[in-house]
Amino acid sequence: MDRIERLLGEMTLAEKLGQMTMVASGYAVTGPVIVGDSTESIRAGTLGNLLNMVGVGHVNEMQRLAVEESRLGIPLLIGLDIIHGHRTLFPIPLMQAAAFDAAAWERAAHEAATEACADGLALTFAPMLDVARDPRWGRSAEGAGEDPWLTARMAAAKVRGFQGASLDSAHALAACAKHFCAYGAMTAGRDYAAVDVSDRALREVYLPPFEAAVKAGVATLMPAFTDIAGVPMTAHRALLQGTLRGEWGFDGVVISDYNAIAELIRHGVAADLTDAAVLALKAGVDIDMMADAYRKGLPKALEQGRVTMAEIDTAVRRVLRLKQQLGLFDDPYRRGAQPEPTAVLAERHRFARAFAARCAVLLENRAKTLPLPANLQRLAVIGPLADADAEMRGPWWGAGEFAPHVGVLQGLRANLPGVELRHTVGVAVTGSEAGDDADDGKEDVQGGIALAAALCDDADAVILCLGESSTMSGEARCRAEPGLPGHQLELARAVIARAHTHGKRVVAILFSGRPLVIPWLAEQADAVLWAGFLGTEAGNALADLLVGRVSPSGRIAMTWPRSVGQIPLHYAQRSGGRPENPADHYTSQYLDMPNAPLYPFGHGLSYTHFSYANPRVTPQHVRRGDSCTARVEVTNDGACAARETVFLFIHDVVASVARPLLELKGAATVELEPGETRTVEIRVDAEALCFPGLDLRPTWEAGDVDVWLGPCADRMKLLKTTIQLQA
Ligand code: BGC
């Protein structure tokens, strides 16, 4: 009999339920305290999993209790949210997406896994695969943005990066695909709010990234807090048992979200904890994170005959199997056995810097404001996010709070040694934050702004660092007005007016975990560079871009609206019967603004200009099973080497179901020297041209499909060629 079956045979009910329970520990952060009676439970064998521990010493101490002092010696599974780095932080996922580079996504996950493993951890609650089309939602920061194709690519890359070739490696973390599913479609962009999406949207938009993670071998999955049409995901049998386990064959561990099983009561589908535990178990949730519903509710449910021991054993078996796959039974201390050599850390920081520079997006660059001229003598660096090293981390910093991070001012100091930098904050990030006026604890807004404007007078150029603080995005960080917070717009108006009076250029660097609604700034600043949150090396990477050592190449993975009223706004809209037409009143449009966004999906400038020519696709007559190759010639018409991302969108012209006007099916990046032309190739399998038909099954319909190639999701900037799908 194998180890798992033998253990199952020996385990008491309490021990089994312990394996199905995960609790948080404030151990390393707040001192040697684990919430409640956990230390005792670990010894008693009635707690099998922990989250939120930092520090290999503490991790090993807890592991020792489980392995040496509990009756059966089953090792603990210990997890943490390692979302965009552990100690070395990489750009937030929304910015990583902007690089359109699966190899870099994988590498960042692998580096994070290596650091986390050195801390003794074995599980991360990542990647987040929620397609996000509403910038009010703070968790937009955690995923790859609005597009299912892109999110699915990131899903596979992150799973490969975290898990590596084998889970039992000392550098591998079990990944967790979350939050299954359609969490990003919550009402009005408000976290945790109800979701009502069509089966078509599920099939086309929200499920594909999870299916990609399952195909890539993801070890665990987390249901979303939210419901779909009244069925909370934690109890969603059709999607968890039917689609996930049945259709896709996922046999890994399903871990509830934090306290989500107990929240079935608040949802109004369970009367008490026992009810909630029954619903979650029947839906196939194996581990109860933080609700303690399984330990408290399942003994009674079992007695009442509402669940069976076989159902409990199925969950326990999956948990034990994961621990075995992670190599925890053979050597529970394999992770964290060796500290990382300094050379590895230095190389990781080099990668973090280069990657961060690839993730920033140049939104505007009028009259070649950037790169900064080489003869610069004095630079005014203004704004609440200029000298804000810790803010560079972004919303999920893992164990990164213990590491130093490089802010803009620090980065400029290190990279522009001959330039005099003059800095003032101007205003606080949000108006409600404590300001500079120590007398009454309130911010002296007008004084701060006047000081900032005065700094422009004898500067050669102005860098204005604006946006959100790192904790204004992430979980439970929704904003009804996702513009510049506090008094920052006033600051920008004053600084830009003053600088322009003296003929000085203003570069705005924007920090945020979401697209910001900034129509005025976009028009008035001479250049706008979106940094999002770039992590540990942010300041160095931004300096590389500002001075032109690197040409920007990031592309937004989420549409930027010009007004909150346009939200939700994404590129993959369907035409409808009355598409926008300013000449025709009865068409789909606003009275007070165009439908077009401020920046479309894929937008992002560089320090050069690229032109496109000669788009073609072979074969032109496509049969199922074919592999198509699209080609387009791209020329760098400018004076510096740069990287261009080429997108391939399709539009199925006539189908049984109206199709989106553009659907992303491929992307490729190319680096071109000045004057160089190259033919960029993008391969697309014919199967990818199938779509959920009238019966929601993948269907292949003969007819014309337009293929659009070019730099972003704006038809005016794309070149079209048409292929024919054969019956
Ligand atoms: C979040 C999850 C996270 C979990 C554990 C929850 O509040 O929704 O994304 O993994 O906490 O920290």
Predicted confidence (pLDDT) per residue in 544-574, tens digit = 999 999 999 999 999 999 999 999 999 999 9
Report which protein residue has its CA nearest ligand 1's atom 7: 258
Residue 461, domain member (yes or no)? yes
Say whether both 406 and 534 belong to one domain: yes
How confident is the model at residue 498, as a pLDDT?
Answer: 98
Beta-carbon contacts of 539 under 8 Å, excluding residues fewer than 6 positions away, are: 389, 392, 405, 406, 407, 408, 409, 410, 411, 412, 414
Q: Are residues 527 and 621 in the same domain?
A: no
Residue 12 has pLDDT above 70, yes or no: yes
Residues 643-666: what's their mean pLDDT? 98
Other C-beta atoms closer than 10 Å to the C-beta of 2 total 9
For strand 642-652 and strand 663-672, is the pairing parallel, antiparallel, or unpaired?
A: antiparallel
Place of tokens 């609650």: 125
- Is 33 a residue whose pLDDT tops 50? no
- Predicted confidence at residue 289, as pLDDT, reads 96
State the pLDDT at residue 32.
Answer: 44
- 418 and 527 together in one domain: yes
Span 583-602, pLDDT tens digits: 999 999 999 999 999 999 99
Dihedral (CA of 574, 517, 104, 52) sign: negative
Token pair of 709 as six digits? 């190639």
Q: What is the DSSP string of 544-566?
A: HHHTTSS------SS-B-SSGGG
Which residue lies with its CA nearest to atom 4 of ligand 1? 258
**Buried-state track 706-715, b at ≥16 Cβ within 10 A, e below 16:** bbbbbbbbbb
The 3-state secondary structure of 398-426 reads CCHHHCCCCCHHHHHHHHCCCCEEEEECC
Of 511, 546, 566, the last residue of a domain is 566
Q: Determine the Cα–Cα distance for residues 564 and 240; give it in Å rounded to an integer.
A: 34
What confidence score (pLDDT) does residue 264 get? 98
Q: What is the pLDDT of residues 230-276, one digit of tens each?
A: 999 999 999 999 999 999 999 999 999 999 999 999 999 999 999 99
Note the pLDDT of residue 434. 39
Closest C-alpha residue for ligand 1 atom 11: 258
Pair 552, 693 in one domain: no
Query: How many domains does one find in the chain?
Result: 2
Amino acid identity for residue 485 in this structure: P
First-last CA distance in the chain: 53
CA dihedral angle for residue 336, residue 320, residue 290, residue 69, rounded to 10 degrees: -60
| Residue 421: inside a domain | yes
Q: Calculate mean pLDDT across residues 626-641.
A: 97
**Where does a domain end: 566, 597, 620?**
566
pLDDT > 80? residue 417? yes
CATH of the domain at 425: 3.40.50.1700
Which of these ranges, 311-325, 334-348, 593-607, 687-701, has the smallest mean pLDDT? 334-348
What residue's CA is closest to ligand 1, atom 10? 125
The arithmetic mean of pLDDT across residues 329-347, rounded, is: 92
Q: Are residues 395 and 455 in the same domain?
A: yes
**Are 380 and 502 part of one and the same domain?**
yes
- For residues 409, 414, 415, 419, the Cα torsion angle rounded to the nearest 10 degrees is 70
Ligand 1 centre and the CA of 178: distance in Å? 9
Which residue's CA is minimally distant from atom 2 of ligand 1? 257
Question: Residue for token digits 């032309």?
Answer: 677
Domain assignment present for residue 579? The answer is no
List the catalytic residues. 257
C-alpha atoms less than 13 angstroms from C-alpha of 692 in its C-beta half-sphere: 14
421 and 475 belong to one structural domain: yes
Question: Considering the chain, what percentage of its residues have pLDDT values greater than 70?
Answer: 97
| Residues in a beta bridge with 3 | none
Is residue 652 within a helix (H) or strand (E), and if so which, with residue range?
strand 642-652
Do residue 431 and residue 362 come from a single domain? yes
Give me the DSSP letters along 360-372.
Answer: -EEEEEGGG--SP
- Tell me, what's the pLDDT at 507? 98
pLDDT at 604: 98
> pLDDT class for 336, splitting at 50, 70, 90?
confident
Q: CA 341, CA 88: separation in Å to the nearest integer?
A: 14
Place of tokens 């665990």: 220
- If pLDDT is split at 50, 70 and 90, which confidence band does 432 have? low
Helix (H) or strand (E) holding 577: none
> Ligand 1 pocket check: which of 179, 475, 477, 478 to mutate, most ligand atoms within 8 Å of Cβ?
475
Residue 439 has pLDDT above 50, yes or no: no
508 SS3 class = strand
Ligand 1 pocket at CB < 6 A: 51, 81, 125, 178, 257-258, 475
Residue nearest to ligand 1 atom 12, measured at CA? 81
**Domain CATH for 626:** 2.60.40.10
pLDDT at 184 exceeding the cut of 70? yes
Q: Is the pLDDT of residue 376 over 60?
A: yes
Nearest residue CA, atom 8 of ligand 1? 257
Are 629 and 524 members of one domain? no
Q: What is the model's pLDDT at position 398?
A: 82
The CA 184 to ligand 1 mean position distance, Å, reads: 14
Question: CA distances (Å), 304 to each of 14, 288, 297, 300, 511, in order?
Answer: 17, 20, 11, 6, 55
Rounded to 10°, the helix 293-303/273-283 angle is: 90
How far away, in angstroms, is 181 Cα from ligand 1 center? 14
CA-atom Rg of the chain in angstroms = 26
Give the position, in ligand 1's atom list, of the atom nearest the Cα of 126. 10
Residue 228: inside a domain: no
**Atom 5 in ligand 1: which residue has the minimum CA distance?**
258
Nearest to 251 by CA among 222, 214, 283: 214
Q: Do 383 and 502 have their domain in common?
A: yes
Same domain, 556 and 625: no
Q: How far apart are CA 58 and CA 52, in angstroms?
A: 11
Confidence grade of residue 442 (pLDDT, cut at 50, 70, 90): low
Whether 453 shows a pLDDT value over 80: the answer reads yes
**The pLDDT of residue 177 is above 80:** yes
Q: Which residues have C-beta within 8 Å of that of residue 525, sequence separation ≥ 6?
A: 364, 464, 492, 496, 506, 507, 508
Distance 597 CA to ligand 1 centre (A): 32
Q: 373: which DSSP letter?
A: P
Q: Give the per-residue pLDDT at 149.
A: 98
- Contact between 322 and 253 (Cβ < 8 Å): yes
The yes-or-no verdict on residue 613 having pLDDT over 60 is yes
Q: Which of 365-379, 393-407, 447-461 is least confident? A: 393-407
Looking at 534, 566, 598, the residue that finishes a domain is 566
Ligand 1, closest atom to CA 125? Answer: 10
Query: Where is pLDDT greater, at 432 or 291?
Result: 291
| Residue recorded with tokens 């603080």 | 469
Ligand 1 centroid – CA 496 distance (Å): 41
CB of 179 closer than 8 Å to CB of 225: yes
Residue 397 confidence class, pLDDT cut points 50, 70, 90: confident
Q: Residue 568 CA to chain centroid, in angstroms? A: 18
pLDDT tens figures, 495-536: 999 999 999 999 999 999 999 999 999 999 999 999 999 999
Judge whether 182 lies within some domain: no
Beta bridge partners of 706: 651, 722
The Cα–Cα gap between 76 and 301 comes to 26
Whether omega for the bond prior to residue 585 falls within 30 degrees of 0, making it cis, is no
Lowest mean pLDDT among 13-27, 160-174, 455-469: 13-27
* For ligand 1, mutation pick of 52, 225, 257, 473 (most atoms within 8 Å of CB): 257
Quote the mean pLDDT of the chain: 95
Say if 460 falls within a structural domain.
yes
Q: Ligand 1 mean position to 257 CA, how many Å? A: 6
pLDDT of residue 399: 85
Determine the distance separating the centroid of ligand 1 and the alpha carbon of 473, expressed in angstroms.
Answer: 14
Model's pTM, two decimal places?
0.97
Q: Quick one: 623 and 479 in the same domain?
A: no
**Burial tier of 702 (Cβ tally within 10 Å: 0-12, 13-18, 19+):** exposed
pLDDT category at 146 given cuts 50, 70, 90 is very high
Range of the domain at 630: 610-726
Q: For ligand 1, what atom is nearest to the CA of residue 128?
A: 9
Tell me what pLDDT residue 441 has.
54
In a domain, 691, yes or no: yes
The residue whose C-alpha atom lies closest to atom 6 belonging to ligand 1 is 258
Q: Which residue from 77, 81, 137, 220 has its CB within 8 A of the most atoms of ligand 1, so it is best to mutate? A: 81
Report how far ligand 1's centroid is from the alpha carbon of 262 (Å).
15
Task: Using the mean position of ligand 1's atoms as its centre, give its distance from the Cα of residue 255 in Å.
Answer: 10
What pLDDT is stored for residue 34 in this prediction? 52
Instruction: Report if residue 377 sits inside a domain.
Output: yes
The stretch 685-707 carries a mean pLDDT of 96
Over residues 446-473, mean pLDDT: 97
User: What whole-number distance in Å separates Cα of residue 410 and Cα of residue 389?
Assistant: 8
Which atom of ligand 1 approaches the CA of 142 most closely? Answer: 9
Q: Kindly give the distance from the C-alpha atom of residue 225 to the centroid of ligand 1, in angstroms, as a whole number.
A: 9
- Residue 525, CA atoms < 13 Å, CB-side half-sphere: 27
Q: What percent of the chain has pLDDT over 90?
A: 93
Q: How confident is the model at residue 1 (pLDDT cuts 50, 70, 90)?
A: low
